[in-house]
């Protein structure tokens, strides 16, 4: 499925696409573990974070702040660092410090001059509000997990986005996660640009996105603004 000839609305996943959650979450874990004399490996932490998050999000809906607290406790146990559950709030508290990628604001500002922009994120409204302070661009539409009471890859985010826009015509989604964003977009026939920062290979059974790039700059070029 090609990109639309006439694009009017560009939506983004937030964490991993616009925000460097890997650095932010690792820094938060490392700082908290250091209080107890533990040193954590980023190479161990990031895959474990992804695995545990996927498992928790697959259950009944709860606020993302609570998902993060549960994630912190489970990761600490698996890494041999006995974190008291009462201290697990360090992780949701850290979200406001998770940094944007260096290219994020430049490309968002360029895109905002030509298109309406939206955010489609697996997070709650409060935490996203803290993250949005990092962005210089305004957004015309925001859909969170809290608003639809489910987590991607469930299609509720995308259905709600389409409902608010009134049509899928002229809509392109930009995201870094194949599992949470690209796959549901393919199923819903929404053109999607995959920002594959880590050069993840696709299995033969996985369908290709509309386009694949390494950076937001490359995505902006595809969208005709860089």
pLDDT tens digit at each of 226 positions of the chain: 789 999 999 999 999 999 999 999 999 999 999 999 999 999 999 999 999 999 999 999 999 999 999 999 999 999 999 899 999 999 999 999 999 999 999 999 999 999 999 999 999 999 999 999 999 999 999 999 999 999 999 999 999 999 999 999 999 999 999 999 999 999 999 999 999 999 999 999 999 999 999 999 999 999 999 7
Give 126-130's long-range contacts (Cβ < 8 A, gap of 24+). 126/65, 127/64, 127/65, 127/92, 127/95, 127/96, 128/14, 130/95, 130/96
List 13, 124, 154, 181, catalytic entry: 13
| Residue 77 Cα distances to 38, 72, 73, 141, angstroms | 12, 9, 6, 38
Whether 124 sits among the annotated catalytic residues: the reply is no
CB atoms closer than 10 angstroms to residue 151: 23
Residue 171's φ and ψ, nearest 5 degrees, are -100, 135
Q: What is the pTM of this model?
A: 0.96
């Amino acid at each position: 499925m090609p990109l639309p000839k006439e694009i009017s609305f560009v939506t983004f996943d937030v964490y991993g696409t616009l925000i460097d959650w890997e650095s932010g979450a690792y820094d938060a874990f490392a700082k908290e573990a250091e209080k107890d004399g533990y040193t954590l490996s980023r190479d161990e932490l990031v895959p474990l974070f992804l695995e545990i998050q996927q498992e928790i999000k697959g259950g009944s809906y709860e606020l993302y702040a609570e998902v993060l607290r549960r994630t912190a406790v489970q990761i600490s146990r698996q890494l041999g660092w006995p974190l008291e559950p009462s201290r697990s709030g360090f992780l949701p508290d850290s979200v406001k410090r998770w940094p944007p990628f260096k290219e994020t604001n430049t490309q968002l500002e360029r895109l905002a001059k030509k298109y309406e922009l939206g955010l489609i994120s697996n997070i709650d409204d409060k935490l996203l509000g803290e993250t949005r302070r990092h962005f210089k661009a305004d957004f015309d539409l925001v859909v969170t997990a809290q608003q639809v009471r489910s987590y991607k890859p469930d299609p509720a985010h995308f259905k709600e986005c389409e409902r608010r826009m009134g049509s899928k015509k002229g809509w392109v989604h930009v995201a870094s996660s194949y599992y949470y964003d690209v796959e549901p977009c393919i199923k819903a026939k929404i053109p999607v640009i995959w920002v594959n920062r880590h050069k993840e290979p696709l299995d033969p059974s996985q369908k290709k996105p509309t386009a694949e790039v390494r950076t937001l700059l490359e995505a902006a070029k595809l969208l005709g603004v860089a």
